[in-house]
Chains A and B, each alone.
Chain A
Amino acid sequence: MTVQNNATTPRVQVNLAGLSKSDYRGNPSTLCQGCGHNSIASQIIAACYELDIVPENVVKFSGIGCSSKSPFYFLNRSFGFNGLHGRMPSLATGAMFGDHTLRAIGVSGDGDTASIGLGQFKHVLRRNLPLVYIVENNGVYGLTKGQFSATAEQGLSLKSQGTNPYMPVDIAWEALVSNATFVARSFAGDPRQVKELIKAALNHQGIAVLDIISPCVTFNNQDEAMHSYAWGKEHEVALHELSYVPPAEDILVDYEEGEVKEVILHNKSAIILKKLERDYDPTNRAEAMRILEEANAKQWLITGLIYINTNQPALFDLYNLPDVALNRLPESRIRPAPETIQQVNDLMF
């Protein structure tokens, strides 16, 4: 893999980083044909390419499960760590302190996040680690062959599993009540929205939770199941039409008064929210909770930016870190000077 600098070749299009789309590629997917996760991996590639992000500046993380294999299918030139089931948040938290100038993308699933990893999920939200936290949510355990996950709807019937007796965990709701600073829900069947949300998430100061309904074509894609393509297409209610605008670009305001909402991010980029059927203000947490309640009652698959808080400092802002990455500090900056040992010994009594 070499940096694409042959811009004279007419057929290969490059971005402002001088890279072609193939520089963002991963290994071939070993997931099922038609799996929602593959579509999300493609949108991660597209978002990073369009944002001119150098892959070496991204670190990928995952836990265990089908979803957690997917970091292998995008950004081969980025470091990645496929950790333990439900423990991706802690791994990412420690790792990003190595070089806090890098960006982090974590991919998890509904089992990984809403069951075994619910504790770490909640606590990484409290810390506001700058991390794009994607949950590829399909309501089942795929790798272990189709058991119910914690996000499966009550009453869901699955082949050889019977009927799910328990109430589900709503990941967006859990994120919201745990003070997540960016909460979105999307649908793998709506790739444009997925991509724009990933772009916005990559530029958010802190953690961005993307709960993406990503159908499992093998175990849970029957039309009446709430994590299927058919159900999603039928029930999707987009809160707005969402676009991400980088800082350098002027925002073209050709909408009518009241037609768009603009959320300015810390790096002066913006999320443009074009009004659809209803007025929705994603900076209002109470309204976010209300809309999730309403969506639940009316069986809507609400998609879009549910909540954003741009005022909370990111984790690294709390640590007074040097500008240079901690993992590059030389010995002279991490071992106290010899003369200090006497002062330390004087305190030992």
Chain B
Amino acid sequence: MSAIQTLERASLSTATRESVNDFSITVATVNGSGSQTSNLTILRALFKMGLPVSGKNIFPSNIQGLPTWYTIRVSKDGFLARREEHEIVVAMNPASYLQDLQEVLPGGVFFYAEDIRLPLDRDDVTAYPMPVRQLVRESDAPSNLKDYIANMVYVGVLAQILGIDLEKIRQALDFHFKGKSRPVEMNYSVVRAAADWAAAHLEKRDPYRVEPMDATRGLIMADGNTAAALGAIYGGVHFVSWYPITPASSLAEALHEYLPKLRKDPQTGKNTFVLVQAEDELAAIGMAIGAGWSGLRAMTSTSGPGLSLMTEYAGLGYYAEVPLVVWDIQRVGPSTGLPTRTAQGDLTFVSFMGHGDTQHVILLPGSIEECFEFGWRAFDLAERLQTPVFVLSDLDLGMNHWMAEPFSYPDVPIDRGKVLWEDDLERLNGKWSRYLDVDGDGIPYRTVPGNRYPNAAYFARGTGHDEHANYSEEPEVWQRVLDRLRKKFETARTLVPSPIIDAQQGAEVGIISFGSTSPAIQEARHQLEAAGLKTDIMRIRALPFSKEVGEFIRSHPRNYVVEMNRDGQLHQLLTIDHPAHALQLRSLAYTDGLPLTARRVRQGILAGEGLDPSREIKETKKSRNDGGEAS
């Protein structure tokens, strides 16, 4: 069959099987060429059209020059996990052109910059050339900006061919450039010219298009790092010390952006916050430990290599009982690993981070809403429990744009925990001891510097100490303090967020997960159901595990623990906690640096169930309302 015949057949099938609001686009560009603006513009325009949409940046560890990809998924059914297949590919980068062409699904669409001049050896795709060089040349943009606006060409061509509303694109540009008319006009004129060119020169021969919907009304679009920063600000964060590291830097940068706007005292104009860029992660956590000890809501944010450096102070924080919040935006390890790719590989490390007997409280946000909520709640927990609280997000959740419900104002007052001030000590006639378990919950009382009551002060240390904070090497004292810390950890079990469970189907198979894999698991669950396998799901949101976790495991003969790491770290921790039910836990761990896909979950579970992993999946249809999780 000739190429022409194949193309004809493809376009024939187009007529019969149109695909509206349901496809993935991958845009291949050169890193540092300004393509992020173009990609976000498309994403935002689709969102403004009311379409459920997600965008994921698959980028290199490089400032300029290496290939980079951006994937956009449009799903009228609200399935927004990454897909391994792309119906539409936009090739702007000669270096990855041949690979990009191979990535297009049969019957898919290939947009390419026509000046690339490499062979177009696929006859099962619809190919559209884009005269990028010509349109840039004709633009009146200043010459130093011409390279950047080149990426607006594909925005215009895609808009024309797929039916993206140009007015929404304009709104997206307006937002991106904060209403500055010159860059908006310059970029929009290229989009417009490209759309006009496409209207005049390209005949639509593919089945993919978008139509306005009403599925995003009232929603916001945000990245998890911004959400976390805002959550921390509403949590009353006083003190932030940090050191730049991908993919955590944008969290601290969001704090730098929003703290001056939200936390300048309206009466005095004074700052109620402190931001310090430290010399390294040793100092970043050291400062935060100091601040937490002195009664400030203190935090730092980092990623794997930074965590390794923070280990010594994390152990001190646990033993000296200092409140502190550490955000870990996970990337791929071990070692420097893949700095710009996502993973969930720090779970066991953080659980026991520190030498000797150390156990940490960990929060596991799985959505933009939870990044915000845990942003403030982490401080309440850290101060209530007087211990470092780690929040494990990841690159996908932290740096990519996700649709979300608007942030909601904290529904409980700030909890500063058991802090004694002068009047408290007066009431107690000065009778208090720093490490005494007065309430039976393992949590002692503390004072902070600046308290002028004559015996408020104590000497904090990482060395052995007794209930009165005096140095001690007594065997019984050491044992007693460590036992109390374990008791405190048991108290934490009752205070941390419980898992999100959707077990309405009473299935035999449970799917257990945490964090950003939620959309892939939701989608896989629908596909499994379509394939005849009912499942219940549980998304764990914190360590130590609350009692609901054990109940879920016990009530499912087979639980698949899905996570993005090699060793099945959540599976390991669940097994430690529930040894009697270890045989009910099966690890489905996988990591390659890319966000999890539904296919991988589906195939893994089908294989585990002894079913054919390639079993045909019926078209999964669902109403928008059942896309979310039951809570």
Say whether A associates with B: yes
Which A positions have Cβ atoms within 8 angstroms of B?
1-3, 54-57, 59-60, 71-72, 76-84, 87, 89-99, 101-102, 119-120, 123, 127, 319-323, 325-329, 331, 333-336, 338, 340-341, 344-345, 348-349
**A95-B294, A345-B407 known; A331-B280 Cβ under 8 A:** no
A79 touches B457 (CB 8 A): yes
A-B contact pairs, 14 of them (CB 8 A): A56-B454, A59-B449, A83-B316, A91-B289, A91-B290, A93-B287, A95-B291, A95-B294, A97-B274, A97-B296, A120-B286, A334-B414, A348-B222, A349-B221
- Main SS of the interface on chain A? mixed
Contacts of B457 in A (CB 8 A): 55-56, 76-80
B270-296 Cβ-contact flags toward A at 8 Å (1 or 0): 111010101110111111111111111
A57 and B452 alpha carbons, distance in the complex (Å): 8
Chain A residues within an 8 Å CB radius of B349? none
Cα separation A1 to B453 with both chains bound (whole Å) = 11
Please pick, from A56, A93, A329, the residue contacting B452 in the complex, using a CB distance under 8 A: A56
- Which one of B98-106, B154-162, B458-466 contacts A? B458-466
Given contacts A95-B449, A334-B272, contact A349 B282 (CB under 8 A): no
Within 8 Å CB of B57, what residues of A?
Answer: none
Q: Are A81 and B286 in contact (CB under 8 A)?
A: no
Distance A287 CA – B28 CA, assembled complex (angstroms) = 60
Q: Give every chain A residue within 8 A of B44 (Cβ-Cβ).
A: 349
- Answer whether residue B481 sits at the interface, using C-beta atoms and an 8 A cutoff: no
- A94, B279: Cβ atoms closer than 8 Å: no
Name the one of B236, B313, B471 contacting A335, with C-beta atoms under 8 angstroms: B236
| B367 CB–A CB distance under 8 Å | no
**Are A322 and B265 interface neighbours, CB within 8 A?**
yes
Interfacial chain A residues near B285, Cβ < 8 Å = 90
Task: Please measure, in the bound complex, the distance between the C-alpha atom of A328 and the C-alpha atom of B263, giving whole angstroms.
Answer: 15
With A56-B452, A83-B316, A120-B282 as given contacts, are A98 and B294 in contact (CB-CB < 8 Å)?
A: yes
Given A90-B286, A327-B296, A348-B406, residue A322 in contact with residue B268 (CB < 8 A) = yes
B409 proximal to A (CB < 8 A): yes
Known A56-B454, A102-B450, A123-B279; judge A349-B220 contact (CB<8 A): yes
Q: Bound state CA distance, A334 and B379, in angstroms?
A: 12
Separation of A57 and B236 alpha carbons in the complex (Å): 25
Decide yes or no whether B374 CB sits under 8 A from chain A.
no
B313 CB contact (under 8 Å) in A77, A84, A322, A348: A84
Q: Given that A83-B316, A90-B283 are contacting pairs, would A95 and B270 also be in contact in the complex, using a CB cutoff of 8 Å?
A: no
B283 CB to closest chain A CB (Å) equals 4
Tell whether, in the assembled complex, residue A80 and residue B459 are in contact, meaning their CB atoms are under 8 Å apart: yes
CB-CB under 8 A for A82 and B294, given A119-B279, A348-B220: no
Inter-subunit contact A94/B289 (CB<8 Å): yes
Shortest Cβ distance from A80 into B: residue: B459
Given contact pairs A325-B450, A327-B296, A345-B220, A79 touches B458 in the complex (Cβ within 8 A): yes
Complex Cα gap A233–B290 (Å): 39
List residues of B (216-273) whose CB comes within 8 Å of A's CBs: 220-222, 226, 230, 233-239, 241, 258, 262-263, 265, 268-272
Do residues B294 and A94 form an inter-chain contact, with CB atoms below 8 A? yes
Please tell me if the beta carbons of B280 and A95 are within 8 angstroms of each other in the complex. Answer: no
Do A321 and B271 touch across chains, with their CB atoms under 8 A apart? yes
When distances are taken between beta carbons in the complex, the residues of chain A under 8 Å from B19 are none
The listed residue (B237, B282, B409) touching A90 by CB distance below 8 A is B282
**What 11 additional pairs, Cβ within 8 angstroms, besides A82-B460, A84-B286, A99-B295?**
A72-B459, A81-B459, A81-B460, A84-B316, A94-B290, A94-B293, A95-B294, A98-B449, A101-B450, A320-B270, A326-B239
Interface residue tally for chain B (C-beta within 8 Å): 77
Q: Given A84-B316, A90-B278, A335-B235, do A97 and B286 touch, yes or no (CB 8 Å)?
A: no
Q: With an 8 A cutoff between CB atoms, is B440 at the interface?
A: no
- Also in contact, A94 and B454, with CB within 8 A (given A72-B471, A87-B286, A341-B408): no
Closest Cβ of chain B to A85, distance in Å, is 8
Closest 3 pairs (CB-CB, A-B) = A98-B294, A90-B286, A94-B290
Q: Are A98 and B450 in contact (CB under 8 A)?
A: yes
Beta-carbon contacts under 8 Å, B358-400 to A: none
A336 touches B454 (CB 8 A): no
* A94 and B239 within 8 A (CB): yes
How far, in whole Å, are A185 and B121 apart by their CA atoms in the complex? 77
Supposing A91-B287, A93-B276 touch, asked if A82 and B268 sit within 8 A by C-beta, the answer is: no
Give the distance to chain B from A50, nearest Cβ to Cβ, in Å. Answer: 21
Q: Is the CB of B455 within 8 A of A97?
A: no
Nearest Cβ distance between residue B41 and chain A, in whole angstroms?
11
B263 contact set on A, CB distance < 8 A: 334, 336
Which residue from chain A places its CB closest to the CB of B376 in the assembled complex?
A: A335
- B628 interface residue (CB < 8 Å to A): no
When the two chains form their complex, are residues B454 and A3 in contact, meaning their CB atoms are under 8 A apart? Answer: yes
Q: B109-162: which have CB < 8 Å to A?
A: none
**Is B312 engaged at the interface, CB distance under 8 Å to the other chain?**
yes
Q: Any chain A CB within 8 A of the CB of B65?
A: no
Q: With an 8 A cutoff between CB atoms, is B332 at the interface?
A: no
Residues of A within 8 A of B455 (CB): 1, 77
